[in-house]
A and B are shown apart, each in its own frame.
Chain A
Amino acid sequence: MKPLKRIVENFEPHFAEGGKWRKYWPLFDGFATFLFTPGHATHKGAHIRDGIDLKRTMSMVILAMVPALLFGMYNVGYQHFLALGEQAAFMDMFLYGMWKVLPLVVVSYGVGLGVEFVFCIIKGHQINEGYLVSGMLIPLVCPPDLPLWMLALAVIFAVVIGKEVFGGTGMNILNVALTARAFLFFAYPADISGDKVWISGVSNQVVNGYTGETALAQFAKTGGDVAAMGGQSFASQADFLWSGFIGLVPGSVGETSTLAILIGAAILMLTGIGSWRIMASVTLGGLAMGYLLNGFSGIFPDNAYLAIPPYYHLIFGGFAFGAVFMATDPVTASQTPTGKYIYGFLIGVLAVIIRVLNPAYPEGMMLAILFMNVMAPLIDHYVVQGNINRRLKRLNVATHG
């Protein structure tokens, strides 16, 4: 640590007031405070300052994502070799997946941080670490074979239009990572949805009868007959459910494993960084709507999605990932505790509605969260207003009664 600190201190005068690289101070400051605790101290008044600043908060979220990332790498390889019908060792699968996923991560960070640096230098702001988390979330919600230039475009769009135009980190209305995904979804639908993109490296050489659709779509199509599911058949529904829970199903890089996501959720909840209120209410909302729609499955037998058992929604697709890592984004979620319950519940409800009633939009979770991001300030407004009215009434009773 010592030599590193000396390097940072040696460079500081060049970037400080009057130095030759003064213009790039935000760049230096960003790196220096990333490595070491910032030297700011409170000067006036009595303030309690927590030792944990935004960078440490963000690092915690990254840490929570690591299980999903590692499992995602393994699963990309696993699905690849499974679809080709080849046997492969654990390390082969992992290395194949890593080879596919790492470029996504590198491009996402490189492009995103580049855009942030440019904006910070133009505006003379401090570099904010908001992109640290978004940069990791974006590759995790992309299919493994996504062309890198598309990813780069999506990142630029998300950071500039989703965040910087509103004033940078902490000012954005929409979740940056989901903005990137929405951009991809509407701009290049063939590369991020459908049945050809979820398994890496097999678009040209699919094994006979193998369909690479997402697990939920296959399940609905075959009417829950897991033995008939293309290529990857399961002995029983419990078996299918279990591999969905572990995450050995095709999908975006980081969202398949509910188990890995739950580990992340535990980290976020224990450190108090992710809101358990939101996670719980999203789950509750999804289940409630799932059971409600499931009740109609007898009346409308044509819609196969109605017949899906409600808890399947929690396990397959991006539901769990969205609930834990996306919906809890402190900037775009509701701020008030009551608002968080409402916000989360409606995300769950909307996600299941979109999934079941409009299979043309396979990723209901993304659209549900983005929609509720927009509604979050409104929810907060009414919660705060309701509280004010309640207290006013109490005040009036106290003074007049």
Chain B
Amino acid sequence: MSTETIAAVKERKPLFTAKDRKLITDPLDDDNPITVQVLGICSALAVTVQVKPALFMSMGVLFVLIMGNLVVSLIRNLIPSRVRIIVQLVIVAALVTVVDQVLKAYAYDVSKELSVFVGLIITNCIVMGRLEAFALANKPGPAILDGIGNGLGYSFILLLVAVVRELFGSGTILGFPIIGEWALNLGYKHNGLFVLPPMALVIVGVIIWVQRSRNQKLIEAN
């Protein structure tokens, strides 16, 4: 015991160890919540017609993930394991309510656009998944990093899908016209399929396809 503490003091711990860094980078690629764990697909289809709602949705989930992980991690030794799901739900629901109220107060139009999907963050499998799989068994520091990593991994895919859908579906990004009048005059037309939810599924599928062909670790042996 004593030798360990001495060793720890001797070599000064860097702010982010390699392990910590992995907590953030892993969910971005190797362990992405959407494309590898295939969680949170529902909101990836629903709020990605345009970039703006996707952006707000990403921020909401990021906030809930970080705070939820932190709170659960802090009280992880107090939660009786038989009622842990309920406790997690209460925490997540409280956080989601905060997000919902903030959106209503400061970004009312976006909040109307996102409608029920803000509330549905509660049931987003990524949130509950991280609480169950990570926060319950780790210290607050790593739990926060894990929340940031997974939140960013989710946001990255969400925004990617939203950019593609808004660009081809309505010719804009964040409401700014990218495909100008000249293209429309030449006979170009916006693609109605990209506005429909099935196309989001196809885009997520293509992202998974590209990711798996680049990342050898993800190829399953069968």
Contacts and interface: CB of A to CB of B under 8 A. Distances in A.
A147 interface: yes
Interface of B: 187, 189, 191-194, 196, 202, 205-206, 209
Nearest to B213: A122
A118 interface: no
Which has the most chain B C-beta neighbours within 10 Å: A165, A186, A189, A191? A186
A149 B191 CA distance: 12
Contacts, number: 23
A188 interface: yes
Interface string A159-184: 00100010000000000000000010
Interface in A186-227: 186-191
Contact of A187 (B191, B205, B206): B191
A119 to B, nearest CB: 12
B29 to A, nearest CB: 21
Nearest to B193: A187
A189 B191 CA distance: 9
Contacts of A161: 202, 205-206
A179 B122 CA distance: 36
A153 B188 CA distance: 12
A188 B196 contact: no
Contacts of B187: 147, 149
Contact of B196 (A149, A150, A153, A186): A186
A189 B192 CA distance: 8
B192 A186 contact: yes
Contacts of B205: 161, 165
A223 B206 CA distance: 47
Per CB-CB distance, the 9 closest pairs between chain A and chain B, nearest first, are: A187-B193, A187-B191, A186-B193, A187-B192, A188-B189, A161-B202, A186-B192, A147-B187, A189-B192
Contacts of B194: 187
B218 to A, nearest CB: 16
Contacts of A153: 191
Interface in A102-133: none
Contacts of A149: 187
A161 B187 CA distance: 25
B189 A183 contact: no
A319 to B, nearest CB: 25
Interface of A: 147, 149-150, 153, 161, 165, 183, 186-191
Nearest to B187: A147
A157 B196 CA distance: 15
A191 B193 CA distance: 13
A201 to B, nearest CB: 16
A165 B189 contact: no
A191 B206 CA distance: 26
B192 A188 contact: yes
A360 to B, nearest CB: 14
16 contacts: A147-B187, A161-B202, A161-B205, A161-B206, A165-B205, A165-B209, A183-B193, A186-B192, A186-B193, A186-B196, A187-B193, A187-B194, A188-B191, A188-B192, A189-B192, A191-B189
Contacts of A186: 192-193, 196
B194 to A, nearest CB: 8
A188 B169 CA distance: 11
Nearest to A150: B189
Contacts of B191: 153, 187-188
Nearest to B209: A165
Contacts of A147: 187
Contacts of A150: 189
A158 to B, nearest CB: 12
A149 B193 CA distance: 16
Contacts of B192: 186-189
Which has the most chain A C-beta neighbours within 10 Å: B192, B194, B196, B202? B192
Contacts of A189: 192
A153 B189 CA distance: 12
Nearest to B192: A187
Contacts of A183: 193
A154 to B, nearest CB: 10
Nearest to B194: A187
A371 B80 CA distance: 48
Contacts of B189: 150, 188, 190-191
A191 to B, nearest CB: 7
A187 B169 CA distance: 9
A184 to B, nearest CB: 9
A231 B196 CA distance: 36
A385 B187 CA distance: 53
B220 to A, nearest CB: 15
Contacts of A187: 191-194
Nearest to A188: B189
Nearest to B169: A187
A186 B209 CA distance: 24
